[in-house]
Amino acid sequence: MIIMTYYMDVYGCQMNVHDSEIIAGILEADGFTNVDNPGSADVILLVSCAVREHAETRVLGRASQLGGLWQNRKQGEPLIVLCGCVAQEHGQDLLDRFQNLDLVVGPDCYRDLPLLIRNSTRQALVEFRKGDYTGIDPLRKRFPGAFVTIMRGCNNFCSYCIVPYVRGRERSRSGDSIIKEIRDLSEKGYREITLLGQNVNSYRELDTSFPELLDMASDAAGSAWIRFVTSHPRDFNRETVEVMVSKDNICNHLHLPVQSGSDGILQRMNRGYTIADYREKIRMLRDSIPEIVLTTDIITGFPGESLDDFQRTVSLLDEIRYDNAFLFKYSERTGTSAYDLADVIPEHVRLERLNYLQEFQRGITLEKSGELRNRILNVLVTGSAKKPDQQAARTRGNRMVILQGTDYEPGTFVDVRITRADGWTHFGEPVGVEDI
């Protein structure tokens, strides 16, 4: 077999990051080796994200730039392969527009990559397939953290979202294969296992629901922490909270995207819950887990968002007091139902509202992070930090902590005293190592 080298660039969400680990696993099982420089690769893969227009523009810009580097391709110059959601969305169209793209491969077709690359016939392969990537050994790059996909696709059709069109309908993985993967990861020393899916709460395989899977995952993980993303406010339920309460290794963090504080806008977004429903779930969660760290996503300037709707979002932030929030201005995506909605909000208004909300939330985040000063928290050392004399770590609540010194191996649990915070990043000094 001829050894080929590959280089990969990854864009977008955790699902894409993990897909890139799956792609690497598929390629390396077939004799490919990874290189750090696109110039010395036989094949360059771009794993693309279509969720926001900006991300799509970036990856297409990169494809075009790489195409320019190897214009009028000569023998021995790299193949360029576009994978991921943009590939699925545009398929053959991309081959017509970008003459230097060789292959366009959707998220369900990665098993075919070695053959497609070795054949090097210019084509788009973007079928939706039923299977998943069970049996593939992903090449994980985040030790001591590991992603485990529990489901692929989504059935929700939120009106602004392209995911159901590019990742297909929801498919849950077999519980047995998930639990086996978690057990293996724990035995290999992974200490933070994140269950991944577009809407993990609607996981169902035969009779196994998400809370039941979470319970089994916690047992299989041993001393490793368990996280899960992304939760949907309509499907997140009491049973899940009960499992979180009953298991020590399930992290006290919930990312629960609310998207807007206005019922009218939530309806236009097709989110399937009201603010009263959402508020009730937060109350139930905080009653059961007072130390829960709560984060969310919000979109500003969705079509039809009046000043009153926007003020409702500000009031919701003020009321819930999230520990952190990921805020975005609305970005039109062709092919989604929101694309055709009337009452488009001008770009400058979307941006003004975004800026206002960012400033507002920044104050809350700072205040809540500041409350941790002098508290002792257990953190997981994850690796090096930007400065060579520091290390990065995460709390159970998924807060980033910078530790002075380089004393600990990644994967060590350490008790630290928080000395200060800068937004979502905290600084701490170690006070002891936890035995596991």
Per CB under 6 A, residues contacting ligand SF4 are: 154, 156-158, 161, 163-164, 198-199, 232
Q: How far is the CB of 201 from ligand SF4 (least distance, A)?
A: 10
Tokens linked to 196: 């991944």
Q: Please give the DSSP secondary-structure letter assigned to residue 389.
A: T
Tokens linked to 367: 């205040």
Q: Which is nearer to ligand SF4, 158 or 379 (CB)?
A: 158
Q: How far is the CB of 242 from ligand SF4 (least distance, A)?
A: 23
Q: Which is nearer to ligand SF4, 337 or 419 (CB)?
A: 337
What number of CA atoms fall less than 13 Å from residue 32's CA on the CB side? 24
Query: Is it true that the peptide bond before 134 is cis, omega within 30 degrees of 0?
Result: no
Burial 64-89 (b: 16+ CB within 10 A, else e): eebbeebeeeeeeebbbbbbbbbbbb
Q: How far is the CB of 163 from ligand SF4 (least distance, A)?
A: 4
308 CB-near residues (< 8 Å, 6+ apart): 262
Measured at the CA of 236, the angle between CA 234 and CA 242, to 5 degrees, comes to 150
Q: Which is nearer to ligand SF4, 52 or 417 (CB)?
A: 52
Q: Which is nearer to ligand SF4, 273 or 310 (CB)?
A: 273
Instruction: Give the whole-angstrom CA distance, residue 142 versus residue 131.
Output: 25
Q: How far is the CB of 167 from ligand SF4 (least distance, A)?
A: 8
Instruction: Give the whole-angstrom CA distance, residue 416 versus residue 257.
Output: 30
Tell me the C-alpha to C-alpha distance, in Å, between residue 287 and each of 190, 212, 281, 292, 336. 31, 21, 10, 10, 37
Instruction: Give the whole-angstrom CA distance, residue 200 versus residue 226.
Output: 13
Query: Is it true that the peptide bond before 144 is cis, omega within 30 degrees of 0?
Result: yes
Q: How far is the CB of 355 from ligand SF4 (least distance, A)?
A: 23
Q: How far is the CB of 343 from ligand SF4 (least distance, A)?
A: 21
Q: Which is nearer to ligand SF4, 227 or 232 (CB)?
A: 232
Q: Which is nearer to ligand SF4, 157 or 339 (CB)?
A: 157
Q: How far is the CB of 118 from ligand SF4 (least distance, A)?
A: 34
297 CB-near residues (< 8 Å, 6+ apart): 255, 257, 258, 259, 325, 326, 327, 328
Q: How far is the CB of 235 from ligand SF4 (least distance, A)?
A: 9
Q: How far is the CB of 51 from ligand SF4 (least distance, A)?
A: 8
Q: Which is nearer to ligand SF4, 51 or 126 (CB)?
A: 51
CB 358, CB 365: distance < 8 Å: no
Instruction: Give the whole-angstrom CA distance, residue 64 versus residue 390.
Output: 38
Q: Which is nearer to ligand SF4, 158 or 292 (CB)?
A: 158
Q: How far is the CB of 153 from ligand SF4 (least distance, A)?
A: 9
Alpha helices in 331-420 (DSSP H): 347-370
Q: Which is nearer to ligand SF4, 174 or 337 (CB)?
A: 337
Q: Which is nearer to ligand SF4, 140 or 232 (CB)?
A: 232
